[in-house]
Amino acid sequence: MKKLLALILLAAALAGGWYFASPWWAMKSLADAAQAGDTAALEEKVDFPALRASASDQISEATRRRAGQGGLLDGIGGVVAERVGREVANRAITPENVGAMVAGGAFASGLLPERLRGQDIGWNIERESFDYFRAIGTFEDGTAGPTLIFRRDGLGWLLTGVELT
């Protein structure tokens, strides 16, 4: 009976440790791969089709919000901008650019305001559920950075989405 109780306690401790430590470990390993420029490791830790879809959806939504009040030219312009946004997301979401975003907070440092260039970015982990967590980026001066969305994949995690700021 004591062995069974010890086994149950050990299993509970391991499950609890995984629950609390695995998001931190996933984010650390992603950041390490990004800083090392290890594109093969980044490809293993990122679901690129899902990440591209996430970025494309955000670009499309931003385009729809900026569209005018529904004139014919606005509609045509919105469709063109949405397709261009989708193409930009498909081409911009690469292992190299994801590494740059994780290491520096932007897909390209030229997209960052001058005051943020060269600042380190820190990541705060927030659990969404058993299957999802978010890594919220914050620059040294407190400015909000991107938010990375991870989905559980077995006992590991994959980067599947981003909320661009």
User: What is residue 68's three-state secondary structure?
Assistant: coil
| Residue appearing with tokens 């009976």 | 1
Q: Does the model's pTM come out above 0.95?
A: no
98-142 per-position pLDDT tens digit:
877 777 665 545 455 666 666 777 888 999 888 999 998 888 888
Ramachandran area for residue 69 (φ above 0: left; ψ -120 to 50: alpha; else beta): alpha
pLDDT of 157 higher than 90 = yes
Tell me what pLDDT residue 20 has: 83
Which residues are CB-neighbours of 32 under 8 A, at least 6 positions away? 38
User: Contacts from 108-113 at CB under 8 Å and sequence distance 24+?
Assistant: none
Tell me what pLDDT residue 100 has: 75
b/e per residue, 16-25, with b = 16+ CB within 10 A? eeeeeebbee
Q: What type of residue is 58?
A: Q
Q: What does the DSSP 8-state code read for residue 118? A: T
Helix axes 72-92, 48-66, angle to 10 degrees: 160
Range of the domain at 38: 2-163
Q: Where are the alpha helices (DSSP H) in the chain?
A: 2-36, 39-45, 48-66, 72-92, 95-104
> Span 85-90, mean pLDDT?
70
Q: Indicate the number of domains in the chain.
A: 1
Burial of 165 (0-12, 13-18, 19+ CB in 10 A): exposed
